[in-house]
Chains A and B, each alone.
Chain A
Amino acid sequence: MIGTLSRATPVIVQGITGRMGRTHAALMRRYGTNIVGGTSTRTDMTQVDGLPVFASCADAVAATGAVASVAMAPPGETLAAVQEAIAAGIKLIVTVAEGVPMHDAMRIGRLVRQAGATWIGASTPGLAVPGECKLGFLPDVCLAPGAIAIMTKSGTLSYEVGYRLVQNGLGQSLWVGVGGDPVKGLRFADLLPVFFDDPRTKGIILVGEVGGNEEEECAEAYKRLGARKPLLALIAGREAKEGVSMGHAGALVLGDAGTLDSKTRQLTAVGAEVFTSLDTLIDASVRYFGSAP
């Protein structure tokens, strides 16, 4: 349902009375997201900033018709939050927490897949349809409606990319932070069909990192699906230390697995362009997607 998200999509925030939940519910609303309420374990609050607070996702969904949720739960409680949301019929859930145990993420993944729902995260700033809505906390300064779909493992590196695109008069059609964890919801390869089918999207920027094989998987899918739109990639971590996670749990290089060379080779082989610096990526984006002078 990523491709059909809009400012009409009703969204709840799980954990809306917490510090993070309250702040970001307000920021999302300000951006245009149709936040219709939230959940909390607090029994003394029935409203926060004019939004109804429910005891459970089931109550929230029944009262508001919400189909999407942003779970502001700590890492150890993310599994429970997703279980609750899926049981209530939520179709799209974004989990922002960093540090969700990998075996919990496997349980979440199986559960969401079985329910036919969509999971974004964990360890992500979320997603946005610039000009319409955002689910999570992508900074507004990086967002502008446009023709480039961004998919990214990293929050900050994608902020930098988005910010510079905006400075260069470019914008984004869709922006999905798949997150920095190894076991996660939507992966790069899952997003290609969405971006290929999205009429707003003229091209794709992939912001990757060393570790895992998501970029390689995406290269394979890109070829299989017919390379229908240009794919530009920026991958961080050439100088990463082997055997140690570089901040993101997924950014772990072991031997030849997960290295930048492997990712670059496979993406390049299917016709994607891989860049080694922000400047060269932005220059190419302007070349590809900038309006003719």
Chain B
Amino acid sequence: MLLIEADGKALLRQRGVPVPDAVEVHGPVATLPGEGPWLVKAQVPVGGRGKAGGIIRCASVVDVNTAIQTLIGRRLKGHVVESCLIEEAASGAERYLSIMVDAASYGLRVMYAADGGVEIENAGGVHGILCPPDASAVAQALDKLLLDETIACRADVVQVGQRLASLLLERELALAEINPLFVGESGCVAADAKVVVDLNAIDRQPEIATMIAQRRTVYVDANRKLAEGFDYVELDDEGEIGLVTTGAGLSMMLIDELTQRGAKPLNFCDIRTGQMRGSPARLIRELEWITARPSLKAVLVNIFAGITDLSEFAALLAAAIKASPALQVPVVARLVGRNAADARRILHEAQPGMLVTEDLNEALVKLDQIVGARA
């Protein structure tokens, strides 16, 4: 999961990687760090902020406050901007430096490029060296990558790289990237930070866990997953079809297919029926989130059960429907597995007229009819 820049930079700063003096604000500001000019940067966990208009260069306090007013509360690439990071614009030559887990080699990929900037990551021409996952190997890789580097602060860059490597290894990160890294006579400074954490290691990374917990709304999906133990990602707060589904891949595919049919899925979900252990609590929680959106027109339940007894699942779903008075839209259930006939009977009692089918296409056509999408 991608951290916002402010959190990424906090991790860098702790490791002794130079970052610009900055202040994070949620509204107007009176005093600013340094002399200016400043950058006002929207803090959303997504790349490409600059191109999307989320980074504004300002020459005065008045401009800064106008930029803050423009950005706060605005939606940027699917995320509402809650805060901005304001820092003095760094200067110097731009470099690109990143260290990431390389899945195929079970090691790290260390990358350095003499041109920083937003295009570099997509250019494909960045020099990279694969090395084993230890700090000394990263140091050797950096030495090689920086052979042709003539800047005065070469040693500083190597040191930043080593600190980035130890951060990645100790905090079990997937990616630690600085782009751009400004290099000049007096040293180097990380003008941006892209840090991807591993949520699966969160139990043994209390520092990262605290960081995520402190921003409930910014990291809404991660906090939800950590609190609830299953995956739910809201895709469109004006979505029309809520998904109660099991399996990440199939849920993604259903979202793609619904979208192709002209429907608007509300959420991604992997409810994990195997972990419910006889309690409808998880289903009730999910129906609560789904029904919170007034745009909701239908709920699609899709369970392909290898092991789960469908009649047991149906009983839990029926209990959840009864416990969810806010649910006022039709449910369409597509169930494959053992005891499908019992499941159908139980669900028909919970919501008369509910389509319960083994045929996914029949379920999708029914949804088309409900939401009025083109079939």
Seen from chain A, the residues whose Cβ lies within 8 Å of a Cβ on chain B are 23, 27, 75-76, 99-107, 109-110, 113, 125, 137-139, 141, 152-160, 163, 180, 182-184, 187, 207, 209-210, 212, 214, 217, 234, 236-249, 251-252, 254-257, 276-279
Contact = CB atoms under 8 A, between A and B. Distances in A.
Contacts, number: 180
25 contacts: A27-B307, A102-B174, A102-B200, A105-B106, A106-B101, A106-B107, A137-B306, A154-B249, A154-B250, A156-B251, A160-B360, A183-B103, A184-B103, A207-B249, A209-B252, A217-B104, A236-B249, A236-B256, A244-B222, A247-B247, A247-B251, A248-B249, A254-B2, A255-B122, A279-B361
A276 B306 contact: no
B360 A182 contact: no
Interface stretch (B45-53, B57-65, B183-191, B324-332): B45-53
B248 A163 contact: no
A123 to B, nearest CB: 9
Given A99-B200, A102-B198, A243 B47 contact: yes
Contact of B257 (A106, A180, A256, A277): A277
Interface in B247-266: 247-253, 255-257, 259-260, 265
A244 B122 contact: no
Interface in B196-235: 196, 198-201, 203-204, 221-222, 231, 233, 235
Given A156-B249, A160-B304, A243-B46, 18 more contacts: A75-B200, A109-B106, A152-B249, A153-B249, A155-B247, A155-B249, A156-B248, A159-B250, A183-B103, A183-B106, A236-B252, A239-B255, A242-B77, A245-B1, A246-B248, A276-B256, A276-B257, A277-B256
B240 interface: no
Contacts of B1: 243-245, 252
Given A99-B200, A249-B200, A139 B306 contact: yes
Nearest to B45: A243
A103 B198 contact: yes
Contact of B256 (A76, A106, A237): A237
B360 A278 contact: yes
Contact of A241 (B101, B107, B233): B233
B121 to A, nearest CB: 6
Contact of A156 (B204, B231, B256, B304): B304
Contacts of A101: 172, 198, 200-201, 204
B136 to A, nearest CB: 16
Contacts of B47: 242-243, 254-255
A138 B336 contact: no
Contacts of A187: 103-104
Give the interface centre of B47, B122, B175 by most chain A CB atoms within 10 Å: B47
B50 to A, nearest CB: 12
B122 A246 contact: no
B128 interface: no
B25 interface: no
Contacts of B46: 242-243
B78 interface: yes
Q: Which 8 A-B pairs have the closest CB atoms?
A: A154-B249, A156-B247, A247-B248, A157-B249, A139-B306, A109-B106, A156-B250, A236-B252
A257 B34 CA distance: 36
Nearest to A158: B249
B246 interface: yes
A107 B251 CA distance: 30
A187 B103 CA distance: 10
